[in-house]
Amino acid sequence: MDSEYMTLKRSNCKNCHKCIRHCPVKAIRFSGNHAYIIGDECIMCGQCFVVCPQGAKEIVSELEKVRTFIRGGETVVATLAPSFIANYDGVGINAMREALRKLGFADVEETAAGAALVKTEYERMIQEEGRSLLISSCCHSVNLLVQKHFPALLPYLADVLSPMQASCKDIKNRIPGAKTVFIGPCVAKKDEAQQYEGIVDAVLTFNELSDWMKSEGITPEKSLDHEEYSRSRFFPVTGGILKTMDCTAPGWTYLAVDGTENCIAALRDIEAGELDHCFIEMSACAGGCIGGPVMEKEHRSPIRDYKSVADYAGMNEFAVKPRDHAELGKDFISLKKYVRTPSEAEITETLRKMGKTRPMDELNCGSCGYETCRAKAAAIIQGKAEISMCLPYLKEKAESFSDSIAEMSPNAILVVNEDLEVQQINREAVRLFNLRSASDILGDQITRIMDAVDLIQVLSTGIGMHGRREYLPECGKYVNKTIVYDREYHLLLCILQDVTEEELQYEHKKALSRKTIETADQVVEKQMRIVQEIASLLGETAAETKIALTKLKESVQDE
């Protein structure tokens, strides 16, 4: 199934595979040259949204849902993630509260106050419950990572509400009937709100809030208010949870891990039993929440953002009323779906289809997004990937296909760069120029084997030449010459069609025609002479006959 909070704009997806290369759990499938998020495996880290160069991944907005609450007269209270101070430069909580009230919110509170409740519960669990290892559960992407991909480690995941949930639950307890809206840099919170109904009514990203304020012509005032009792404002940075906690429990080690890849590595160490009596603060985003996928892109600056958070956080903790464990408790269940593991025979056959029949063919280049060719083959069998995602395979296939066409061509084909150096030459061209092999000319100037005047003309004018017949004295052949200039790749393609036999036949026919005409002229001239002679002879005989008959007539008359 596809993700409920991430959608694909098909017209924008260009089949670049960048999303799968950056997806830490490979929760993306490809079908019809388009990427789809696999909801059952996705941890909602939002990396595919961040890295997509074409904006093909879109986050489902709940802005209209919030507007409907406000238009309907509901008491809508926002809880603002502590990373807001890094996203909205120089704007404190009071200025944000004033801006959001103009949008119709009844009030705005800091999620950091809920974080103070959560960190207190972490401390209690370490001190009172005798656990051997505890993983923070503030980050919903980390929670999903454990639930979907490491379910055996669920006992180590702190079964405590997230700061977002703790803040919203506290608001609902104090303001009966209130609608709660979390505003932050995280798309995973939309999924968390949906999974645990009745606590958070809607989730907006900083992008959504900024667009909304812009549409209403509202600009938060640059005004930093500082409060000494606000230590939990450190939560959105790596190590921020640890900064707020009492990390003095005997025998315990306190660690902070950020970035999904590092979290996965830590979870594998836990699986292997290599960690004990550790509290591990885990954040899926590098740098913590200030590196969240929906921090507005123009505000991404890890050092500056950390400083903004550090400067805004107070030395002492929020004055919050302690809560009973039951109020802050949260259940985590396994969400892992069964995925069939392909057999060795299936993987071998799939590798063969990918053109990988030997271990040396398995480049493991990672261009498809998978660490190894075998992992890619398994994904193909599971219906998540396509053979065409292998760039070396496609390149080799394309080159093999084009080379086969060139080699099978009855015409001589040469590819020349803009320096007139031969880059490729086919078998027919080797034969035409009486070369021993292609290596005799590859990389050398084409002027070694033929005149380059036409090539230079096409290169300078950009106008191709098609079917020009000429004689190549270098090899004693007549050819039809075609030259095409590829501006994008800065190459000249020269195709020479050997028409020597045709030209010789044409010359033979011309010579035969010329000889026939000469013979005909000779015959006509001779015939004319004969006719003239006959005519002459006929003229003499007639005259003699006339004289004889006249004499005979006269003799008869005389008698």
Return the bridge partners of 479, or none: 470, 498
Name the CA dihedral angle for 336, 337, 340, 341, rounded to a multiple of 10 degrees.
-20
Res 349 pLDDT > 50: yes
Q: Pick the more confident residue, 211 or 507.
A: 211
Q: Model confidence over 230-252: pLDDT tens digits?
A: 999 999 999 999 999 999 999 99
Indicate whether 50 and 70 sit together in one domain.
Answer: no
Counting the structural domains of the chain, the total is 5
In a domain, 292, yes or no: yes
Summarised one tens digit per residue, pLDDT across range 268-297 is: 999 999 999 999 999 999 999 999 998 875
536 token code pair: 């002459």
Q: Is residue 506 part of a domain?
A: no
* CATH code, domain carrying 400: 1.10.15
Query: Quick one: pLDDT at residue 189?
Result: 97
- Residue that is last in its domain, among 382, 408, 434: 408
29 and 115 housed in the same domain: no
Work out the pLDDT band at 555, boundaries 50, 70, 90.
low
Instruction: Check whether residue 179 and residue 228 sit in a common domain.
Output: yes
> Are 379 and 526 within one domain?
no
Does residue 509 sit within a domain? no
Q: Is the predicted pLDDT of residue 557 greater than 60, yes or no?
A: no
Q: How confident is the model at residue 527 (pLDDT cuts 50, 70, 90)?
A: confident
**The pLDDT of residue 357 is above 50:** yes
Beta strands, E only, 116-197: 133-135, 179-184
What pLDDT, on the 0 to 100 scale, is given for residue 542? Answer: 60
* Residue 443, domain member (yes or no): yes
517 pLDDT more than 80: no
State whether 104 and 175 are in the same domain.
yes
Q: With contact defined as beta carbons under 8 Å apart, do 37 and 48 qualify?
A: yes
If asked whether residues 181 and 256 sit together in one domain, one would say yes
**Domain range for 243:** 61-328
pLDDT of residue 125: 94
Choose one of 60, 79, 100: the last residue of a domain. 60
Residue 319 has pLDDT above 60, yes or no: yes
Q: Which amino acid is at 311?
A: D
In a domain, 346, yes or no: yes
Q: Is residue 505 part of a domain?
A: no
Residue 1 has pLDDT above 50, yes or no: no
Length of the chain: 559
Average pLDDT in the chain: 88
Q: How far apart are the first and last CA of the chain?
A: 142
CA 202, chain centre distance (Å): 31
Q: What six digits make up the tokens of 371?
A: 């660490």
Q: What is the model's pTM? A: 0.72
Whether 24 has a pLDDT exceeding 80, the answer reads yes
The confidence score (pLDDT) of residue 227 equals: 85
Q: Is residue 507 part of a domain?
A: no
Residue 145: pLDDT above 70? yes
69 φ, ψ (degrees, to nearest 5): -55, -50
Domain-ending residue, one of 60, 78, 110: 60
Same domain, 162 and 223: yes
Q: Is 127 exposed, middle or buried (0-12, 13-18, 19+ CB in 10 A)?
A: middle
Grade residue 206 by pLDDT with cuts at 50, 70 and 90. very high
Residue 245: CB atoms within 10 A of its CB come to 19
Torsion of CA 47, 48, 49, 52, to 10 degrees: 120
Q: pLDDT tier at 534 (50, 70, 90 boundaries)?
A: confident
DSSP single-letter state for residue 298: G
Burial (CB count <10 Å: 0-12, 13-18, 19+), residue 170: buried
Stretch 28-41: mean pLDDT: 85
Distances (CA, A) of 523 to 385, 509, 534: 83, 21, 16
Which one of 67-76, 295-304, 518-527, 536-545 scores highest in mean pLDDT? 67-76
Kindly report, residue by residue over 85-141, the tens digit of the pLDDT.
Answer: 999 999 999 999 999 999 999 999 999 999 999 999 999 999 999 889 999 999 999
Note whether 317 and 420 are same-domain residues.
no
Show Cβ contacts of residue 494 under 8 Å, excluding neighbours closer than 6 positions: 413, 414, 415, 416, 446, 455, 481, 482, 483
Binning pLDDT at 50, 70 and 90, where does residue 454 land?
A: very high
CATH number at residue 49: 3.30.70.20
Give the pLDDT confidence of 67-81 residue by residue, as tens digits: 999 999 999 999 999
**pLDDT for 380-439, tens place per residue?**
888 888 877 776 666 666 566 567 777 788 899 999 999 999 999 999 999 999 999 999
Whether residues 246 and 264 fall in one domain: yes
156 shares a domain with 94: yes
HEC readout, 202-214? EEEEHHHHHHHHH
**Within a domain: residue 4?**
yes
- Give the residue-averaged pLDDT of 446-466: 93
- Are 236 and 265 part of one and the same domain? yes
Whether 157 and 305 map to the same domain: the answer is yes
Residue 556, pLDDT score: 53
pLDDT at residue 218 above 60?
yes
